[in-house]
Amino acid sequence: MKLSVFLFKSARKVLGTLQQWVDRCYTSLLFRGNGVVYSSFRTSGHPFVSVARTGKLVIGQHFAMNNGLQGNPIGCSQPCCLFVDSGCELIIGTNVGISQTALISHCSLIIGDFVKIGGGTCVYTTDFHSLNPEVRSTVNDMKQRKSAPVIIKDHAFIGAHCIILKGVTIGKNAIVGAGSVVTKSIPDNEIWAGNPAKFIRNI
């Protein structure tokens, strides 16, 4: 190995170790400042975290999170986004791993144990705006938006760049193919993919 390559990789390893420590400290500060209930976690980079005073964010043990390209270089540069609105909850089970993922709780968002969520995936519990064009052009737009809970059950695997919409339940052991838009609930032990996502086969 050339000396220049050796020196570069050695320096990067040292700086990477220091950056991991900084990321963990800053993420712990974000969690505490937002009243997050958590225990053990691993992070590359730091997320965006916003929990309303009457919101609740609970994270189980052995939580793993990649923010940006450093931890999961698959083309998604954004950090994870953990947002919980007033009176809402985001519950994340044990041994959950997410990468560059947006978890947006304007209702109830429950993630089970041993769930893997791929890079760039977004999970939304609301339409964000009214579907009525007349209402959407008024000050009542946000007040009349529709919201519904999302549940992702144990051992589910969500591929990269998926969008999970409000009111959906992802079944136990289910797999969602990369790039899918999930508008309907997926039963246990099934593979779905596409836009909109449709049944592919049983596991």
Q: Per residue of the chain (203 residues), what is the pLDDT tens digit?
A: 676 666 666 666 767 677 787 899 999 999 999 999 999 999 999 999 999 999 999 999 999 999 987 777 787 889 999 999 999 999 999 999 999 999 999 999 999 999 999 999 999 999 999 888 988 888 888 888 899 999 999 999 999 999 999 999 999 999 999 999 999 999 999 999 999 999 999 99
Q: What's the pLDDT at 20?
A: 81
Q: What's the pLDDT at 72?
A: 78
Residue ranges covered by each domain of the chain? 3-202
Q: What's the pLDDT at 186?
A: 98
Tell me if residue 62 is catalytic. no
CATH number, domain 3-202: 2.160.10.10
Convert 10-47 to b/e letters by CB count within 10 Å (16 or more is b).
Answer: eeeeeeeeeebeebeeebeebbeebebebeebebbbbb
Active-site residue, from 46, 62, 106, 129: 129
Strands (E), 156-196: 157-158, 163-164, 169-170, 175-176, 181-182, 190-194
Q: What's the pLDDT at 13?
A: 73
Q: What's the pLDDT at 69?
A: 75
